[in-house]
Amino acid sequence: MPTFVLWVKAELEGVKSLSFPFPSTTWTFDVQQAAGSETREGVVMDPEEARRTATAGDGVANFALKFPGDKRQSYVKFLAPGEKHKELEKHKLRAQTADDGDLVPVLAMECRGLEPIKWHPTGAHA
């Protein structure tokens, strides 16, 4: 299953770190149908919201939608920091500190049938 990792880089002038508490942070993305060109803008996803779906591997996803013409629901499942997953072993999710000069991985999610194409920072960190 495809896994997407969100990397951020910010200038932290006078700020010690930039963090996104998991699972209490909601995320807003534009998403695109994986096998097509259909898009949805400003989709709000909440890691604390679990939905039962027949298409998710374990039957649970944090967000689901069905694009026109698709036979199955598309879904997103957020990966918790520290969860056993091959992408999290390669990219440790963490806060960005003032000492970081490069991009930092802050979020990982499994996606089936859709792809996040744009992140819209909202809330206290916007």
- Domain with 114, as residue range(s), is 3-120
- What integer pLDDT is reported at residue 54 of this predicted model? 63
Q: Is residue 66 part of a domain?
A: yes
- What integer pLDDT is reported at residue 77 of this predicted model? 93
Q: Is residue 36 part of a domain?
A: yes
Query: CA-to-CA distance for 100 and 78, rounded, in angstroms?
Result: 24
- What integer pLDDT is reported at residue 13 of this predicted model? 87
- What integer pLDDT is reported at residue 118 of this predicted model? 97
Q: Is residue 100 part of a domain?
A: yes
> Which tokens belong to 52?
């039962």
Q: Is residue 125 part of a domain?
A: no
Q: Is residue 21 part of a domain?
A: yes
Query: CA-to-CA distance for 69 and 56, rounded, in angstroms?
Result: 19
Q: Is residue 88 part of a domain?
A: yes
- What integer pLDDT is reported at residue 57 of this predicted model? 61
- What integer pLDDT is reported at residue 122 of this predicted model? 85
Q: Is residue 37 part of a domain?
A: yes
Q: Is residue 126 part of a domain?
A: no
- What integer pLDDT is reported at residue 6 of this predicted model? 96
Residues 6+ apart with CB under 8 A from 53: 59, 60, 61, 64, 73, 75
- What integer pLDDT is reported at residue 32 of this predicted model? 97
Displacement of CA 45 from its chain's centroid (Å): 8
Torsion sign across C-alpha atoms 23, 106, 59, 72: positive
Total domains in the chain come to 1
> What's the average pLDDT block by block, 10 residues per block, for the chain (126 residues)?
91 89 93 94 94 71 92 92 86 92 94 95 69
